[in-house]
Amino acid sequence: MTEEGFENSPGEVQAAGLDAETIGELRQIAARYPQARSALLPMLHLVQSVQGQVTPTGIETCADMLGLTAAEVAAVATFYTMYKRRPVGDYHVGVCTNTLCAVMGGDVIFERLKEHLDVGNDEITDDGRITLEHVECNAACDFAPVMMVNWEFMDNMTPESAVELVDTLRSGAEVRSTRGPRICTWREAERVLAGFPDDLADEGPAAGPETLVGLQIARERGWRAPDPKHAQQSAQHSTRGEQ
């Protein structure tokens, strides 16, 4: 364990720091924003894509580049759960255990996977392939219980299908998300979150039938969203009437 509670694993982190190519890409990200400090979130994702976690080296580099203190950068890195202070496996497997998913079986899935993989929450398997974590709502309640692999949806899961999924991931076979592209590695996904597309965004369906039911009903009944200008005028009229 190092300073600031950041854990390093031998062979996983470039102790000497970030290479010249990564430094150049960090500068490229910073240049996208009118205020450079706004680039911190994608910059931290890029650090993770290279070093497998947010390291003290990554924190210092981002701080120096953005004119921030290391404490300010560390505060961000420790606030958001997508930034990891310990090495992450090739596949980050998140099991939603929020209310609806839990009721539909999310808790059972999570317990089965902990037992099957012999890990606890936010721990990595011995082979370095899987990191397991229980996560909060994935905004996919219509497909509960939901899992995510490197932030791609795996819908309507069961304990059995969850075990099959992680075994397939560990074997190296291709896995496709339910409503999205084929699953890439966690580091590759982090690079996308840093703002470097992998051209997989249009692979697979973007929405399932359950998500589109409301839209279908609205079209069948001729429902439309209010015109913004009309809604604003109605609100102003109502306010004047109350006065």
Strands (E), the chain: 91-96, 123-124, 130-135, 147-149, 152-154
For residues 193-212, average pLDDT:
84
Contact yes or no for 97/134 (Cβ under 8 A): yes
Question: What's the average model confidence in pLDDT over 17-25?
Answer: 92
Q: Are 142 and 149 in contact (CB under 8 A)?
A: no
Q: Can you tell me whether residue 76 is helix, strand or coil?
A: helix
pLDDT digits (tens, 9 = 90+) for 103-112: 999 999 999 9
Q: How many CB atoms lie within 10 A of CB 109?
A: 26
Sheet strand arrangement including 91-96: 123-124, 130-135, 91-96, 147-149, 152-154
Average pLDDT score over the chain: 89
Structural domains present in the chain: 3-79 (1.10.10), 91-184 (3.40.30.10), 209-242 (no CATH)
Model confidence over 51-109: pLDDT tens digits? 999 999 999 999 999 999 999 999 999 999 999 999 999 999 999 999 999 999 999 99
Predicted pLDDT at 191: 97
User: Above pLDDT 70, what percent of the chain?
Assistant: 89
Predicted local distance difference test score (pLDDT) of residue 231? 66
> Residue 30 region, left (φ>0) first, then alpha (ψ -120 to 50), else beta?
alpha
Q: Model pTM?
A: 0.81
176: β partners: 182
Considering 126-135, 210-219, 222-231, the range whose residues carry the highest mean pLDDT is: 126-135
pLDDT band at 3 (very low <50, low <70, confident <90, very high): very low
Q: Is pLDDT of 4 > 50? A: no
pLDDT band with cut points at 50, 70 and 90 for residue 207: confident
Label residue 225 by pLDDT band (50, 70, 90).
confident
209-213 mean pLDDT: 84
Please state, as a whole number, how many other Cβ atoms lie within 10 Å of the Cβ of residue 12: 16
